[in-house]
């Protein structure tokens, strides 16, 4: 997990190794080892730190997503507990951040019909970085309401969360089920793209100030035989440039 210590202007990597995993209990390690890699001197070191949670339960490993670094702290969503595990790069200690109760999903999964087929959408909240702040995305009612709620931690020290409602211009299903994948400058959020044709892909950028969406299209080089073979994260930097220079 990659992070940046703002107080020392230093980039670090936190590695968490689960030890003693058994075949019958794959999510319950007997112990955990923590290591820090510093990009300033390219060295690894083991740290002795205690976790504020019980590692013997599934909530430690199962369902975790990628990490987000905000305020010199690396954050990981412990989704089965609906809490965030935060590692402070300055003190090298862990703490728990509670997510807002309203961000908890009403139902863990939503069934819906698309093209005559029954589909299942899982509703566990996820974290992301929004305009330099920590955000929690709640999307459990998007199928019925075409709305997502994005909770932003405006005051980190006092744990003050502010809810933002993202309303899609039409059915979320018809829009190919877009999800936020990254934030841009000027309070803009980039959503995952849909495939428009053989060599054209499009993404939507949401402006949190105006509450509106702005479409962005780009052409794939001819060496890509089919657009569905392209992973979105590999062209994320390209999309950022297009959004910023429109």
HSE-CB for 14 with a 13 A CA cutoff: 29
Mean pLDDT, the chain, rounded, equals: 81
Closest CA to 91 of 74, 78, 77: 74
> DSSP states of 5-26 as a string?
ETTTTEEEEEEEEEES-BTTBT
What is the mean pLDDT of the segment spanning 198-204?
A: 72
Query: What is the pLDDT, as a whole number, of residue 124?
Result: 86
Note the pTM of the prediction, 2 decimals: 0.80
Whole-angstrom distance, CA of residue 217 vs CA of residue 228: 15
Closest CA to 72 of 86, 84, 88: 88
**234 has pLDDT over 60:** no
Whole-angstrom distance, CA of residue 127 vs CA of residue 129: 7
What is the mean pLDDT of the segment spanning 165-182?
A: 89
Q: What percent of the chain has pLDDT over 70?
A: 74
pLDDT band of residue 235 (cuts 50, 70, 90) is: very low
Whole-angstrom Cα Rg for the chain: 20
Query: What is the pLDDT, as a whole number, of residue 31?
Result: 74
Highest mean pLDDT (candidates 63-67, 138-142, 175-179): 138-142
How many CB atoms are located within 10 Å of the residue 85 CB? 22
pLDDT tens per residue across span 76-94: 988 666 889 999 999 999 9
């Amino acid at each position: 997990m990659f992070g940046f210590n703002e107080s020392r202007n230093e980039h670090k990597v936190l590695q968490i190794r689960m030890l003693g995993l058994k075949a019958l209990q794959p999510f319950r390690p007997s112990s955990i080892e923590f290591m820090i890699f510093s990009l300033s001197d390219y060295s690894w070191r083991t740290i002795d730190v205690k976790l504020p949670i019980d590692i013997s339960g599934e909530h430690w490993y199962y369902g975790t997503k990628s990490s987000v670094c905000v305020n010199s702290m690396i954050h990981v969503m412990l989704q089965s507990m609906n809490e965030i595990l935060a590692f402070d790069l300055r003190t090298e200690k862990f703490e728990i951040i509670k997510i807002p109760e309203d961000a908890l999903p009403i139902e863990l999964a939503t069934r819906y019909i698309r093209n005559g087929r029954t589909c299942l959408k899982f509703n566990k909240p996820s974290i992301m970085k929004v305009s330099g702040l920590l955000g929690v995305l709640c999307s459990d009612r998007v199928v019925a309401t075409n709305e997502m709620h994005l909770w932003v931690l405006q005051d980190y020290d006092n744990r003050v969360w502010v809810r933002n409602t993202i309303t899609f211009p039409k059915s979320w299903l018809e829009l190919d089920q877009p999800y936020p994948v990254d934030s841009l400058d000027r309070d803009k959020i980039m959503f995952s793209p849909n495939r428009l044709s053989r060599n054209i892909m499009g993404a939507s950028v949401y402006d949190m100030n105006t509450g509106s969406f702005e479409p962005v299209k780009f052409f794939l080089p001819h060496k890509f035989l089919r657009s569905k073979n392209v992973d979105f994260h590999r062209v994320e930097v390209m999309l950022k440039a297009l959004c910023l220079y429109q």
